[in-house]
Structure 1
């Protein structure tokens, strides 16, 4: 093990990965993070060893996400992946979340200051999982996922400050399956395809299978900080699943539709917490070929300097119309 070398100031994006500054290498890896509908709604700026993560409201899908919940969950995933990348490259990322807490500005999601640290086998394994991770929507096998393994995934999410609730109970799972099907019917019946790829939604109401591990990512509040934490927690759960050989499929539509979200909260979660995302976990068949990586915005496009932006019409979630809480 050896401490990371002293970083150079980043003056621009070099096409040769080995010539990138450490901070740009972190951003280059972090842009592999998953996002709702592959929207990749983030931007980065780099100044020496300091990285700023911005929410890119120009990529906000306001009709489907009026509160900006899923945009900030996606930014939380990117933040988590940046921290994993830093660790894997021999750095520690000291993170300040939402440094501008004025109640309205959610453009600057986080500041990361890279501090030289020591490489470790666990950090290297996490980085390997980051590079191997894919969203695999192919049908899971009928092999059951042991509850203790699901609890291990929930614990990894909890370590990031989130609340992950496993649903092993047959009655709860039946209710969730019903709500997933109802959400699909209310939302138009079929998975939505867009230029950015399919939404996080399995194809039918029967997508919650009896052998799946089923987790609800929750929070106590409905605010930008909570949504970002949910994204970080999902990132931790996902990479832990990759390291255990499991596939993960988030389902968002049951949360996007307020009626099914409230039913999930009251009938499954006892009204105690706010559901933010539903996650299926399962095994892919042995011998399944790997999936190609989905397209990503280039490093140049996500690190281009830009002023803070607002949502369409000048509104931001929390300041404009649209539900922001239960």
Structure 2
């Protein structure tokens, strides 16, 4: 008889994978996820204490962020020769439970899996102007397949549609400036230097916004003195067939797949979410892209001119996101 199949990574492997999963992008770096480990499974929960009610009242972006973390975890484990079987939205009395993962050992990891896991370490959100990505049509074809495999649609916003998109972004920003709850929430989550969550000032444009398509942040310390004066990044739109929590989770997984594939190709990326935070703007994006899907998130993709900062945005410690059986006790 052969040796029994291995069905659970050891503690060190799991902790390493969860730490890498926490590198996933999230709204204002809120990191709204919790992982619960038992003897046979690892479960992913949204952390509703970290929802941003003024910016994300439905929790859509919170679930999308968790989907990105879920795909990051799969990617990290695949590089360590572990396959993940995912049950999304399992029957559970806890509505915050988004997925249950079970594992089995692989004989080896592919070069692609190893490269994508390495890309998790290198990925950064680039809010400054970028140059146009090279070999773009070939890259788009590959990214479209990755998005579809994850359950989302990927469209390209054409260059001739960019001025209209920029104008809509500016109009949204003007409305948001008068929203006191939104502004208070934004300032609470941005500009910190000592907390392991939120968006550090070093990653925010010195003028508050260097790219018209981007969200308007409080002024930071990131400068683009040698960066492109005009943003020539390509813009992608991820959409889903419908607009429920399963769609949001799947779209987050697609977002992660696209971001890591771009990073592996040497491209810089920036998820853009403020343009999908209202029904009106989402309807506008649907028409702009000529898509039948429900817009969920935009992504800027390009080449970041030097000098380029490789400083990683801080992340919460494992003791705050990984628990054994019950959220009250840290990993033992």
Shorter chain as denominator, the TM-score bin is 0.7 to 0.9
The aligned counterpart of 1:253 is 274
Q: What SS is found at the alignment partner of 2:313?
A: coil
Moved more, 149-158 or 35-44: 149-158
Give yes or no for contact 1:37–1:200 (8 Å, CA) kept in 2: no
Whole-angstrom CA distance in 1 between matches of 2:297 and 2:168: 13
The whole-number CA distance in structure 2 between the counterparts of 1:304 and 1:89 is 21
Query: 1:129 aligned to 2:119?
Result: yes
Alignment of 1:70-89 (within 5 A): 70-89=61-80
How far does residue 151 in structure 1 lie from its aligned partner after superposition? 3.2
Provide the rounded CA distance (Å) in 2 between the counterparts of 1:60 and 1:161.
Answer: 24
Q: Does 1:155 align with 2:145?
A: yes
Offset at 1:273? 1.7
Q: Distance in 2 between matches of 1:143 and 1:70?
A: 27
1:207 CA drift (Å): 3.8
Corresponding residue number in structure 2 for 1:211: 232
Instruction: Name the counterpart of 1:139.
Output: 129
Within the candidate set 288, 296, 314, 1:268 is matched to 288
| Contact in 2 for aligned 1:50/1:111 (Cα 8 Å) | yes
Shift of 1:28: 2.2
Q: Name the structure 1 match of 2:321.
A: 302
Note if 1:284 corresponds to 2:316: no
Q: Are 1:154 and 1:166, in contact at CA under 8 Å, matched by a contact in 2? A: no
Deviations 1:47-78 (A, max 9, x none): 23521111111111112111110000000000
2:199 matched residue in structure 1: 197
Q: TM (normalized to structure 1)?
A: 0.80
**Secondary structure of 1:138's partner?**
coil
Alpha-carbon distance between aligned partners in 2 of 1:278 and 1:142, rounded to the nearest angstrom: 16
Q: Are 1:37 and 2:22 counterparts?
A: no
Number of aligned residue pairs: give it: 291
Please tell me whether the aligned partners of residues 38 and 197 of structure 1 are also in contact (alpha carbons under 8 angstroms): yes
What is the aligned counterpart of 1:188 among 155, 165, 177?
177
Q: Give the superposed CA RMSD.
A: 3.0
Q: Kindly tell me: are residues 152 and 34 of structure 1, through their superposed partners in 2, closer, same or farther at Cα, counting changes over 3 Å?
A: same
Instruction: Give the one of 13, 33, 56 matched to 1:65.
Output: 56
Equivalent residue number for residue 312 of structure 1: none
Contact 1:7–1:22 (Cα < 8 Å) also in 2: no
Distance verdict in 2 for CA 1:232–1:96, change over 3 Å = same
| TM-score normalised according to structure 2 size | 0.78
Shift of 1:269: 3.5
Q: Which residue of 1 aligns with 2:37?
A: 46
1:183-209, Cα deviation, whole Å (9 max, x unpaired):
222222899442511799982563476
Q: Which residue of 1 aligns with 2:248?
A: 227
Residue 147 to residue 271, structure 1, CA distance change in 2 (3 Å): closer
Taking the TM superposition and a 5 Å limit, the aligned residue runs for 1:305-320 are none
1:314 corresponding residue in structure 2: none
